Amino acid sequence: MVRPRRERRAAALLLGLCGASGLCSCGTAAERDAATQSSAGALENDRAEAALPEEALNATWQELAVPGASNRPALASTPVGFLAVSRRTVGDTRAPSAWESYLYRSSDGIGWQRVEVSADNSNLWLRGVAYGAGHYVLAGMRFGGGDGVIFHSTDAEHWEEIPVSTGAPSGLSAVVFAGSRFFALSTFRTLLSSSDGAAWASVDLGSTVMPLDVTFGNGLYLLVGSGDVQRSADGARWVPTQLDCAMPGACITDPGGNVLQGLHSRAVFAAGTFFIDQASSADGQSWQPLPGRYPRASVGGFVLGSTETDLLASWKPGDAPRPLRSARYVETLSGEARTSGVRWNGSVEPNEFSSENFPGDQLPPERIEFPIPSGDNCTAAQCPRRGRPALSGLAAIGAERLIAAASQGRERDD
């Protein structure tokens, strides 16, 4: 599936003063202190949130790098730090000799340590990572060994492998923690749910294929993907809703001329309102159009996302988008540093592939650092927290303690 450019950006962390959406700003120490003092701890998408400080909205957000064996690492924030998982093929991409996945951990968003997930990494293809309620979960597939696999841990160091059935040949594409449950998203119609990340139940979504995101608010779970938007009170029984095709992006026409429900890539809950691509709703059933708005995260009562022109922006329910300034990590590097500096991170755009970026004949390093010239990191400038994917291509260091970064770029093909 081809995504808009804003959906194809790779995962990266952002650093600096205010963390409102997977980005962080490069403010002064005094500004960062003021921003931190005005925030009230971890912000979750299903809780009342303190207002985002004005400094965060006016600041320039600095992107940080994330290690990855591909250009689409998945990223989550956890009590033990950031976790980044990625995968790659070995050998000819048309006939790979192996598939490998790698997990990295960082406490400050700059230095990263590789963590072993499985002694058998030769056919492992992990696409998602999530944390919730004391449990860590990785999701993906094993080539030649079933159609889905989940790894569960209570310390992010020791992992238990759990084969699961999805009915999809490409296994699982992502995992999300929303409300009080984990949701593993398949590449077809299957949704897996769990309260502890170890025991999983399967649901056939019927009219929604390729589920892409789940959020929770107002006592409801909301799921989006290709097809109907679905809502649930318990995460097990789902009720589909169709959007009016007169709304922007609500419907598509197939080659046979049939009009179908379209694709929505993200679901966000903020200030009592659900947001999906170009639409909002208080109850998940009646939707209002929001042309040109693509939400990725919520923090401080604001939605963080992008506009039709791919600008980073924030907005409140009922308000117009407010553009946010940002700077890419690779733009802080010299030409020479760029070659080595982007070697194992996911901050490059897909059209910036080169043999130097992701060499297939070398193992990713045990340890790696991606410093920026300012010297800031997630301990000097706190990162807002969010336990699931946020903005496309960006994560952040900001006012709240860790926002789990950045879009997983939930592509179905690499």
Cα separation, 231 vs 238, whole angstroms: 5
Q: What is the pLDDT of residue 379?
A: 78
* Strand order, beta sheet including 273-276: 267-270, 273-276, 279-281, 288-289
Q: What is the CA radius of gyration of the chain?
A: 20
Name which of 191, 235, 233, 239 is nearest 211 in CA terms. 191
Domain segments of the chain as ranges = 5-202+288-369
Asked whether the predicted pLDDT for residue 123 surpasses 70, the reply is yes
More confident residue, 125 or 24: 125
Cα separation, 196 vs 47, whole angstroms: 21
More confident residue, 379 or 219: 219
> Residue 329 in contact with residue 345, Cβ under 8 Å?
yes
Cα separation, 31 vs 49, whole angstroms: 20
> Residue 274 in contact with residue 284, Cβ under 8 Å?
yes
Asked whether the predicted pLDDT for residue 35 surpasses 60, the reply is no
Model confidence pLDDT, tens digit, residues 391-407: 323 334 332 222 333 22
More confident residue, 82 or 57: 82
- The structure tokens 């589909």 sit at 240
pTM for this predicted structure: 0.82
Question: What phi and psi, each to the nearest 5 degrees, are found at residue 8?
Answer: -100, -5
Model confidence pLDDT, tens digit, residues 287-317: 999 999 999 888 778 898 889 887 888 999 9
Average pLDDT over residues 175-187: 96
- Expressed in angstroms, the distance from the first to the final Cα of the chain is 10
Cα separation, 27 vs 60, whole angstroms: 7
Strands (E), 154-287: 160-163, 172-178, 181-186, 190-194, 201-204, 208-217, 220-227, 229-232, 239-241, 251-253, 259-261, 267-270, 273-276, 279-281
Residue 7: in which H helix or E strand, if any? Answer: helix 5-8
> Residue 264 in contact with residue 215, Cβ under 8 Å?
no
* Residues 6 or more apart whose Cβ sits within 8 Å of residue 151: 117, 118, 126, 137, 138, 139, 159, 160, 161, 162
Cα separation, 46 vs 48, whole angstroms: 7
Cα separation, 177 vs 400, whole angstroms: 19
> Residue 300 in contact with residue 20, Cβ under 8 Å?
yes
Helix (H, G, I), strand (E, B) or coil at 338: helix
Q: What is the pLDDT of residue 57?
A: 79
Asked whether the predicted pLDDT for residue 201 surpasses 60, the reply is yes
410: β partners: none
Average pLDDT over residues 359-385: 73
Name which of 16, 21, 7 is nearest 388 in CA terms. 21
More confident residue, 331 or 401: 331
Average pLDDT over residues 153-180: 93
Q: What is the pLDDT of residue 340?
A: 59
Q: How confident is the model at residue 56 (pLDDT cuts 50, 70, 90)?
A: confident
Model confidence pLDDT, tens digit, residues 90-109: 777 778 888 899 999 999 88
Pairing outcome for strands 60-64 and 325-327: parallel
Model confidence pLDDT, tens digit, residues 248-292: 999 999 999 999 999 999 999 999 999 999 999 999 999 999 999
- The structure tokens 């293809």 sit at 125
More confident residue, 312 or 24: 312
> Residue 350 in contact with residue 139, Cβ under 8 Å?
no
> Residue 96 in contact with residue 359, Cβ under 8 Å?
no
Q: How confident is the model at residue 341 (pLDDT cuts 50, 70, 90)?
A: low
Q: How confident is the model at residue 227 (pLDDT cuts 50, 70, 90)?
A: very high
Percent of the chain with pLDDT over 70: 71
Name which of 67, 39, 74 is nearest 55 in CA terms. 39
Q: Which of 64-73, 226-235, 313-322 has the lowest mean pLDDT?
A: 64-73
Q: What is the pLDDT of residue 342?
A: 59
Query: Which two three-digit tokens encode residue 312?
Result: 């980073």
Most confident of 36-50, 90-104, 146-160: 146-160
Residue 61: in which H helix or E strand, if any? Answer: strand 60-64
Cα separation, 115 vs 367, whole angstroms: 10
Q: What is the pLDDT of residue 360?
A: 61
Asked whether the predicted pLDDT for residue 17 surpasses 50, the reply is no
> Residue 90 in contact with residue 360, Cβ under 8 Å?
yes
Sign of CA dihedral 108, 114, 118, 122: positive
Cα separation, 183 vs 190, whole angstroms: 10
Q: What is the pLDDT of residue 83?
A: 93
Cα separation, 264 vs 131, whole angstroms: 23
